[in-house]
Amino acid sequence: MVTNVKNLHLSPEPVTSTAGHDACLTLLLVGGGPDDRHVVENLLADGGAGGGAVDCVSQLADAVRAAKENAYDAVLLNVDTYKGPSAKSVNTINELLDEIPILILSSHDDYQMAMDALGAGAQDFLHRSNLTGTALVRAVRYAIERKRTEQRLQALLSYDSLTQLPNRELLLDRLTQAIAVATRQQSMVALLLLDLDRFKLVNDTLGHAFGDKLLCEVAARTQTCIRESDTLARLGGDEFVAVLTNIKGAQDAAKVANKIIREMSAPIVIEGHEVFVTASIGISLFPNDGLDKNALITNADVAMYRAKEEGRNHFQFYTFGMNATTVERLTLENDLRRALERDELLLHYQPQMDCKTDEIVGFEALVRWQHPELGLVPPARFIPIAEENGLIVQIGEWVLKEACRQNKVWIDAGSKPMTVSVNLSSRQFHQESMLKTVTDTLAKSSLDAKHLALEITESSLMHDPDDAVVTLCLLHNMGVSISIDDFGTGYSSLGHLKRFPLDFLKIDRAFVNDITDNPEDAAIVRAILAMAHSLRLRVVAEGVETERQFHFLREIGCDEIQGYYLAKPLPAAEFEKQFVKLPKVKVG
C-alpha cells in the first residue's frame, strides 16, 4: 500500500470503502497471540462488523510487511503483549503505513501512556476491560474517519490545491531531505526553477480560469520530464521548482531542462484557444552553488532572471558572480537615465532581403547602448529595465527619430528606397502620445510613411485588442506598415490577428533555427506561411543563419529573410558600405 496523497480527494466525503454500516472490518493486530485475535474477532462480530480477516503479527517488521500486502482498515496495537515503547512503535507504524489508522489496546488505564500514544499519531486508546463489540467497531470507524480528515488537512497544508503538486512548505521539506541524503552519499542535487514567460498577459487577456487550466497543463507536462523519485512543486503563481536527486553532473540537469522546454513548445489547446507558452529555467546545483536550501533557491532564481534577460525560453545555470547583476542592474538603471542626455545610444541596422529578387528591400533598426565602462550593451540587458521604469518612451522616440532620419538620408543620396523597421515595445505601443510621435517624426524627417514599418509583438496587441485595432487603423491610414514581430512565441493563433490591419509577419528565429532538420518546425512554418498568405501578409523569416535555411525558406514560399546569413546588425557606416546602393558620383 503506497501512500499517494496526490490522489486524495480534497472535498469532504463520507467513509465508504469498508464502512457501510454492515460492512466487515479487516484489522491487523500487532502484538498478541491466537487468543487475542479470537477476542477481537468476537468483538467485531458482536459489533456487527464480523466476517473480515483479523491478522496477527508480533513484530513491527512483520506488521509493515503484512500491511503492504493487505488492505487493512486499521491497526490494533496490543501494548500488553507487544513489548516495546508504545509511543515509538506508533510513530514507526505511522511513518511506514501512514494511510492506516492506529488504535492502542491496553488492559492498563494508564493516562500518560494514552497521551503519549495519541501524541505519536494513534487515533484512539482503548481500555480492554469492559470493551464491547459496539464500542470497538465504533472506535475503529471513527479512527478511519479521523485519519482521512487528517490526511485531507495534511494535503491542504502540503499540496497546491490547483495543480495538486507539493507546495512551498513540502518542497522545502523534500529539499532538506535531498540535501541530507546527498551529503551522506556525496552525490549531487539539481534545483530547476521554472517561470513561464509572459504568463501575466495570459491571465490578463484570457482570464484567470483559463490561466489556471494552463498552469495545470504546464504542471502535467513538466511532471513527465522528471523521474518519479524527483519532486516537482509549485512555488506559487507561474513558478515551479523541480528537485532532481542523485544526478551525475550538470549535464543531467541540462538534459531535463531541455526536455521541459521541448515539452512546452507544443501548442496547448484550451477551450478552443491555441496557446503557445514558453518557460525560462534557472538551475542551481548542490553542493556547487549552495549548501542549504535557501541558497539553492535564491541562486536558481538569479539564474532564471538571467535566462529571461537573455530572451526567454531557455535555461541558464547559476554562475558565481551572477549575484553581482542585481547591483549591476541598479547601476544600469541610474546610468540609463543619463544615457540619452549623453548621447550614448546608437542604432545598428540589419538587412532584409526579398527571396524572389535577392534584393535588399528593408532593414531593421536595433538599438545599442555605448556604455562608458561596460562597452556595447545589448538591448536585452536594458530594454526590460527601460520598460519597467518608463524610460522606454523617450528611448523609443529617439530610436524612431534616428531611424527615420537615417533612412531619409540614404533615400536622398539616391539609394533605391528601403523600408526601415522600428521595434515598439508594448508600453510604447499603448502610450497615448504614440500616434502623435509617429506623425511628428515623419513630418520632421520628411520620410514618406510608406518607408516606415513598426514592429509589434502579438502579445502587445492582445493586451488591449480593441485599443490596438483603432491605433493600427490610424497608423495604416497614414501609410505606415505594421509588422508582427517574433511570431509564434506569443500565445495567440493567427486567427486572432485577422481583425488587425497588418502587413508583415516575422517568424521567430526559434522556428527557423532547426527548420532544415526538424520536420515539426518545418510544418509549423509552412502552416504559418499558408495562413499568413491567405490574409495577404508578407512573411519575413528571422534569424536565418545558413544558406540551407535560406534555400529551404525560399522553396516553401517565404517572402523575405533577415539574419546572420545576410549580415549581423551593423553600424550605419558599415551598413551603408555593404547594402546601400548609392549612385556612382561622376568624377571630373
**What does 367 interact with, of Mg ion, ligand C2E, none (CB < 5 to 8 A by kind)?**
ligand C2E
Residue 379 in contact with ligand C2E, rule: CB under 6 A: yes
Residue 308 in contact with ligand C2E, rule: CB under 6 A: no
Residue 543 in contact with ligand C2E, rule: CB under 6 A: yes
The number of CA neighbours under 13 Å toward the Cβ of 327 is: 4
CA distance 531 to 179: 51
Residue 51 in contact with ligand C2E, rule: CB under 6 A: no
Identify the residue among 486, 559, 560, 576 touching ligand C2E (CB under 6 A): 486
Binding mask 423-452 for Mg ion (x = CB under 5 A): x-----------------------------
Residue 130's Cβ-count burial label (10 Å; 0-12, 13-18, 19+) is exposed
Q: Where are the beta strands (DSSP E) in 470-573?
A: 481-487, 504-507, 538-541, 560-562, 570-571
Of 190 and 454, which has the nearer Cβ to Mg ion? 454
Q: Count of residues for the chain?
A: 588
Of 521 and 542, which has the nearer Cβ to ligand C2E? 542
Binding mask 234-273 for ligand C2E (x = CB under 6 A): ----------------------------------------
Of 86 and 407, which has the nearer Cβ to Mg ion? 407
Q: Which of 235, 160, 229, 223 is nearest to 189 (CA)?
A: 229
- In angstroms, the first-to-last Cα distance of the chain is 98
DSSP per-residue codes, 431-497: -TTHHHHHHHHHHHHT--GGGEEEEEEHHHHHHSHHHHHHHHHHHHHHT-EEEEEEETSSS--GGGG
CA distance 429 to 270: 28
Give me the least distance between CB of 569 and ligand C2E, in Å please: 5
Q: Where are the beta strands (DSSP E) in 500-543?
A: 504-507, 538-541
Identify the residue among 36, 486, 521, 576 touching Mg ion (CB under 5 A): 486
| Residue nearest ligand C2E, CB atom distance | 563
Residue 455 in contact with Mg ion, rule: CB under 5 A: yes
> Tell me, what DSSP letter sits at residue 382?
H
**What does 284 interact with, of Mg ion, ligand C2E, none (CB < 5 to 8 A by kind)?**
none
- Residue 588 is placed in which grid cell? 571630373
Residue 509 in contact with ligand C2E, rule: CB under 6 A: yes
> Which residues, numbered 548-577, are part of the site for ligand C2E (CB under 6 A)?
563-564, 569
Of 212 and 328, which has the nearer Cβ to ligand C2E? 328
Residue 484 in contact with ligand C2E, rule: CB under 6 A: no
Residue 425 in contact with ligand C2E, rule: CB under 6 A: yes
Residue 197 in contact with ligand C2E, rule: CB under 6 A: no
> Which residues, numbered 391-410, are part of the site for ligand C2E (CB under 6 A)?
396, 399
> Tell me, what DSSP letter sits at residue 159?
B
Part in contact with ligand C2E (CB under 6 A); list of ranges 334-342, 378-386, 436-444, 571-579:
378-386
Residue 195 three-state SS = strand
The torsion region of residue 311 among left (phi > 0), alpha (psi -120 to 50) and beta comes to left
Q: Which residues of 425-436 are buried (b: 16+ CB within 10 A; e: fewer)?
A: bbbbbebeebee
Part in contact with Mg ion (CB under 5 A); list of ranges 59-67, 232-240, 259-267, 479-487:
479-487
Q: Which residues of 211-226 are buried (b: 16+ CB within 10 A; e: fewer)?
A: bebbbebbbebbbebb
Residue 423 in contact with ligand C2E, rule: CB under 6 A: yes
CA distance 320 to 184: 25
Of 238 and 486, which has the nearer Cβ to Mg ion? 486
Of 427 and 476, which has the nearer Cβ to ligand C2E? 427
Number of residues in contact with ligand C2E, rule: CB under 6 A?
Answer: 23
Residue 488 in contact with ligand C2E, rule: CB under 6 A: no
CA distance 411 to 538: 23
Using CA atoms of 519, 522, 528, 529 in order, give the dihedral in degrees to the nearest 10: -140
Identify the residue among 366, 404, 524, 525 touching ligand C2E (CB under 6 A): 366
Q: Which of 499, 466, 495 is nearest to 482 (CA)?
A: 499
Binding mask 145-184 for ligand C2E (x = CB under 6 A): ----------------------------------------
CA distance 79 to 114: 11
- Enumerate binding residues for Mg ion (CB under 5 A): 423, 455, 485-486, 542
Residues of the shown chain interacting with ligand C2E in the complex, contacts defined by CB under 6 A:
350, 366-367, 378-380, 383, 396, 399, 423-425, 455, 485-486, 509, 542-545, 563-564, 569
